[in-house]
Amino acid sequence: MKSSPLHFGVIGTSGIASTHLEELNKLVALGEAKIVAVADLDEKKGKLAAEVYQCDYYQNYLELLKRRDIAVINICVPSGLHSEVTIEAARSGKHVIVEKPMDISLAKAEKMIRECNKAGVTLSVVMQNRFAPAVQQVKSALEQGWLGQPLLINASVNWYRSQSYYDVSSWRGTWAMDGGGAVLNQGIHTVDLVLYLMGQHKEMSGFIATRGHERIEVEDVASCTMKFENGALGVFSSTTCAYPGFYVRIEIFGSNGSVVLEDNQIMQWHIRGEEDSAQGSLQPYPHLSLHGIQFLDVIQSIREGRAPSISGKEGIRSLRFIDELYHLNRHVSDVEIHREGK
């Protein structure tokens, strides 16, 4: 017998929220979800989303959280508010899907995990790229030893953001609400994949700087080197100054082969004696984006009483990495204050 659809509320209707709402709407069509309500301080934007997705609108998200018919909350507010909204949702008995980064403060992110555990609700952090079939294939190759001993990973995020991107919103490019720039905002998905594929790092050195934009506090260029617990070395770089913008590229070199990913697609696959072995698996849910696949994983985890594939424990790993990189650069104005959440 098919399970009843889980009821969702979405807090924040701008930016990435459009992806959340559209993917949830696809899950509505599949009978897996129902969008019950949205909340946004901006009445015009909130009411428009409510009209499009045929749900209720609240200007105060705390009123939305009082709804007993809502099981899951998707949080799409500015990064500096993630902890506050997540904790209120957990205390209201709601499961939580929170956009990246988990929060801008490591201490607040750890509190999010504690509060959700205390309330007995699911916490999932959006790191949708893990669900890409090519990423899963590379993960399997590493786990099964096809690449041999991991030796080196190079990962680069060479994107471009215009000055107007930062100027359009007062919170963008600030330590207080954005929490970081090219690494925390744009590069965090790639950081997550580096740790997902290679395991925990144990040493790091690196730099961040603001070189290509004006009127922003956060970094727009960054680079670091690292050593992993498995002995492999790594290089990570991220920028929002690479006009006109390029692919995210991840290169993995092992003692028995090499793999290159560009934007979650396998571009090079060379395993000694098995060059033709990478024939790419089909997308398991062809009508869903990677966000939608993660939302479906959360729905299934709630029904099955298990942790989601990307829990708070998994989601905080990339934040810890970035927090460490930022603390290596304490000379950068305000980094230490805001990373501690003071």
Going residue by residue through the chain, which has 342 residues, state the pLDDT in tens, using 9 for 90 and above: 678 999 999 999 999 999 999 999 999 999 999 999 999 999 999 999 999 999 999 999 999 999 999 999 999 999 999 999 999 999 999 999 999 999 999 999 999 999 999 999 999 999 999 999 999 999 999 999 999 999 999 999 999 999 999 999 888 999 988 899 999 999 999 999 999 999 999 999 999 999 999 999 999 999 999 999 999 999 999 999 999 999 999 999 999 999 999 999 999 999 998 766 665 555 667 789 999 999 999 999 999 999 999 999 999 999 999 999 999 997 554 444 444 444
Dihedral in degrees, nearest 10, Cα atoms 330, 80, 14, 125: 90
Same structural domain, 57 and 74: yes
Same domain (yes/no): 187, 140:
yes
The model's pTM: 0.93
Residue 281 falls inside a structural domain: no
Q: What is the CATH number of the domain that holds 301?
A: 3.40.50.720
Together in a domain, 176 and 324: yes
In a domain, 189, yes or no: yes
Whether 231 maps to a domain, the answer reads: yes
**Same domain assignment for residues 29 and 52:** yes
What CATH number should be reported for the domain holding residue 186? Answer: 3.30.360.10
Q: Specify whether 199 is located in the same domain as 332.
A: yes
Range of the domain at 82: 6-128+288-311
181 shares a domain with 322? yes
Does residue 48 sit in the same domain as residue 164? no
Q: Same domain, yes or no, for 17 and 100?
A: yes
Q: What is the dihedral of CA 332, 338, 95, 29, to 10 degrees?
A: -40
In whole angstroms, what is the distance from residue 260 CA to residue 251 CA? 4
- Does residue 276 fall inside a structural domain? no
User: How buried is residue 47: exposed, middle or buried, by Cβ count under 10 Å (0-12/13-18/19+)?
Assistant: middle
Total domains in the fold of the chain: 2
Same domain, 90 and 156: no
265-297 burial, b if ≥16 CB within 10 A, otherwise e? ebeebebeeeeeebeeeeeeeeebbbbbbbbbb
Count each helix (H run) and each strand (E run) in the chain, helices first: 11, 13
Residue 24 shares a structural domain with residue 152: no
Q: Are residues 89 and 149 in the same domain?
A: no
Round to whole Å and give the CA distance between 178 and 335. Answer: 12
Please tell me whether residues 124 and 137 are part of one structural domain: no
